[in-house]
Structure 1
Amino acid sequence: MQDPYTNKSENCDRTWLERPPAKEREIALGFFPDCPRAQQPNQGCQANSLLRSAVRAGDVVRVRELLRDSTPADANSWDEFGRRPLHDLCETAATGRGQLGTLRLAAELMLAHGDPRAQDKAGKAALDHARSSKAELGSIESTTSLARKPFLRELTALLAACSLQGVTEDGFADPAGLFRALEYLGEPLRSQIALGVLGLAALRPIGPAEMKWRNPGPGLEEQLAALDDELAAVKRLKETSQRRRALRRLLFEWHPDKNGHRHELAKAAFQHIQMQKADILEKGQAKKG
């Protein structure tokens, strides 16, 4: 993770990744330089103040605009307690208010070099807050306990992996949580984090139709379940020619161009059929062999 304060500014000649001078260690200041601008909440910058407000409001679009502006907000800006925007997100998830946007906000901040390791004035990093809250769920993460704090596990795994503190000799400490977080992010954030930050070159970009098929909402999930029943019936047909005709009929029925009134659903269903087509057609050949 790049440290945005490595290049010394005219006001601050320190980086939060170095150890503070001895006189500051007792109060765990870490990176909070003793200069007037640094002592102000959000460093006296209006863009930083707007960024904190947008993060707390869960406004992903506004956060992205502020971070990518010609004079961008600082993803590591701190308030009077030394808390960064990533601290706010961890608190949101820890108190059971996590949403899909919480993960997307975290991704946008880290792509703008937001650092999960940056400590507040109490000496706690955003990642520390997330981990301690996740630990409260217990070692057995039942559906009920996870439902109390939605997206907390995924947020913790994402922050840990991006800070390299969730990586062991055997790989990621919580691969299930991390890859679920990446799926929830959607494209292009999924690829930007996976390829640009984590270096997962084998994780290919996926389109919106496949994303919907892989992570179906309630209505789509029911439709794909019904479609699976039809595909199972097709697979039981004895002759390859029969299965091919049945698949051709289903593909025609669900072709997006034929379903203008339910275009997104048709795209997901069409791709769902295509993904299983080879397996269904090869079923008869495997029996003969």
Structure 2
Amino acid sequence: MKKTFVCAGILLLTVCPLLATSNSTLQQKVEAEVKVATTQNKGAIEKNLRVDFEISESFYDERYDQNNGPYRADIACKAYALDSHWLILSGTCMRYSSGDIRELGDHEFITRYGRVVKNKINYTNNSNVMLIWTDEDKYKSPFVNVLATSSPNQLFKLSSNHTVKINTARFGTDSVKTRTLKTGSIKGNFFQLDESWTDLSGTATDPLFLISPEENEFLAAYNNGEIEYALQMTANDIFNTFDGKTSKEWFSLNRNDLEFIKTTVQKNRPNDWNKIKQRLFFNNTKIPFFSK
């Protein structure tokens, strides 16, 4: 009987240190991941950049059964540095304008097509985000974190202990404003903000950030406004270029957007991935989504 107790004691003395070592290693790993995730990027929301595009576009007029163009147009979009070689923008930057062309008045009879970006840039986009990359080490920190959520409901939950801010270009400004998310406004992937008629609302390509208690800043949504622009068809068109329209609606980023970023980076500048993946989060602002 005594031998049994002795063996049990020896077994505990052997196993307990192993368990302690295992738990300690796991804790160190978690702490290391959290430390990576909490790298300070305070002030990132204020460091927006303007990206100008010259595009070429044609349109088909069903009323006269004729193609027109191509014609040149200028647009500009708000961008943020994701890394020293990368910019992230709203996917609405490359959305076709629904505005009438030269005030023809019957846009339902006009189909835009054949858009070509004339600038010599590397870019790609999905419906929510656009990425630009360069071989030149040109963009400076603080770099943005990107927060995707499973639905706007999760974004609302996170806003209970995070500060919501937008950077709006309304009236030609670059103004950072604190906002709250509007209860009951969620429709699919879209939601609204609590705003009075005196508040500066968001415009096309304006971002929404969640600021963590540790003051880390996460790009989480974009305004759903569109950029209206004039195709340069006559000399008079030089006085009418582009205008970012306001929208009450915002759309949250999702998991597919994180996968899109991953695929784009690994395809075009794979050496940048280990840095960028530390800035991509899903449903939380503590541990990066691709940390494992």
Shorter-chain TM-score above 0.5: no
Give the TM-score normalised by structure 1.
0.18
Give the TM-score normalised by structure 2.
0.18
Larger relative contact order (CA 8 Å, sep ≥ 6): 2
- Higher share of residues assigned strand: 2
